[in-house]
Amino acid sequence: MLSSNIEYYKPMTIKEALELFYFFRNQNKKPMYYAGGTEILTLGRLNIIDPDIIIDIKEIKECNLFEFNQDYLLSGAALTLTYIEEKNLFPLLTNTSMEIADHTARNKITLGGNVCGQIFYREAVLPFLLCDSQVIVAGINGIQTSPIEQIFHQTFQFEEGQFLIQFLTEKQYCSLPFISIKKRQQWDTGYPLLTIASIKVENQLRFAFSGLCAYPFRSKQMESELNNSSLTIEERIQNALQFIPGEVLNDVEGSNEYRLFVLRNTLEEIILEMEVR
Ligand SMILES: Cc1cc2nc3c(=O)[nH]c(=O)nc-3n(C[C@H](O)[C@H](O)[C@H](O)COP(=O)(O)OP(=O)(O)OC[C@H]3O[C@@H](n4cnc5c(N)ncnc54)[C@H](O)[C@@H]3O)c2cc1C
């Protein structure tokens, strides 16, 4: 259980949030950034985490922006998934997010909480991986902007005390042809057996995956094989499978063999549909 002595802070600025984090960390306390709280409460109840200081980032202005700014879409870390759906500025992100949990949970779950959380599906990161988005992060060395490819390897590689402020996504990506397919073992809500998101950029398909391995990923080697139009679709898929970057999950959501079966079928479905768009 989370301790009843937990202290709660709600800073209004990035600077204040960072000061709180490093102040308490220097006192050997365990501060934790808090957004929707759904994962913190779940893991706290299971005694997997036990923060003693909660720093709620939901009032920070920069974390709540969702708007086009010149050539970029800014997507703040504290946006709830339902707000992202309602605004629908980035249809691929809308489609991917609206398959996460159920509507009531999505009223609480934030973009930052989903992509930075310990629950490893992190499905909302797929659109940003596909669009080569920039990631804005605040920490002891100020505010840094990095390409997602540099800073996301299975999870965000943040230093202690850093937190996600926003994603910057080039406007042109927000209107490209896309598809996002989530396959579950059963029911209409729940964790994915497999989620694949794809966009078409200059006639080439890009693919990002969640639920296949114990982390979300985009693989350029798989993309290269899947775009090899000199081969049949079956051959392309067979070649791409050799570049899955880790062990295929084998758990309660489905066996590794079943996941590979679903992967083959879903890739074929996506290629057939996207190649004619
Ligand atoms: C019923 C249910 C079903 C679910 N189904 C799915 C699913 O199908 N697919 C899927 O991908 N996920 C699923 N999840 C997982 C869920 O997406 C995460 O638990 C949730 O996204 C956490 O978001 P939150 O805003 O509540 O984060 P919080 O609980 O507030 O935080 C989660 C973690 O992220 C950190 N954090 C939060 N914001 C930031 C930030 N801006 N910068 C750095 N660190 C930050 C926190 O410190 C904490 O470690 C489900 C969850 C529930 C409750």
In ligand 1, which atom is closest to the CA atom of 40?
A: 29
Same fold, 1-175 and 176-275: no
266, 196 Cβ separation under 8 angstroms: yes
Q: Give the pLDDT band (50/70/90) at residue 242.
A: very high
Closest CA to ligand 1's atom 49: 117
Residue 214 structure tokens: 């114990």
Question: 51 in ligand 1 pocket by Cβ < 6 Å?
Answer: no
> 275 pLDDT exceeds 90?
no
Question: 167 in ligand 1 pocket by Cβ < 6 Å?
Answer: no
Q: Give the pLDDT band (50/70/90) at residue 253.
A: confident
Pick from 59, 40, 38: nearest CA to 51: 40
Is 1-175 assigned to CATH 3.30.465.10?
yes
Question: 2 in ligand 1 pocket by Cβ < 6 Å?
Answer: no
Candidates 46, 55, 116, 160: which one to mutate for ligand 1, based on the most atoms within 8 Å of Cβ?
Answer: 116
Candidates 2, 21, 33, 215: which one to mutate for ligand 1, based on the most atoms within 8 Å of Cβ?
Answer: 33
Strands 142-147 and 134-139, by their bridges, are: antiparallel
> 80 pLDDT exceeds 80?
yes
> 252 pLDDT exceeds 90?
no
> Rounded CA gap, 90 and 252, in Å?
32
Average pLDDT over residues 52-58: 97
Question: 49 in ligand 1 pocket by Cβ < 6 Å?
Answer: no
Residue carrying structure tokens 């605004």 = 87
pTM for the complete prediction?
A: 0.97
Question: 43 in ligand 1 pocket by Cβ < 6 Å?
Answer: no
In the beta sheet, which residues pair with residue 206? Answer: 199
Residues with Cβ within 8 Å of residue 229, at least 6 apart in sequence: none
Cα–Cα distances (Å) from 136 to 133, 147, 163, 219, in that order, read 10, 9, 9, 23
> Rounded CA gap, 140 and 64, in Å?
21
Strands 142-147 and 31-34, by their bridges, are: unpaired
pLDDT at 4: 79
CATH of domain 176-275: 3.30.390.50
Q: Give the pLDDT band (50/70/90) at residue 186.
A: confident
Residues with Cβ within 8 Å of residue 215, at least 6 apart in sequence: 120, 122, 154, 155, 246
Q: Considering the chain, what is the average pLDDT of its residues? A: 96
Average pLDDT over residues 155-159: 97
Domain ranges within the chain, ordered by starting residue: 1-175, 176-275
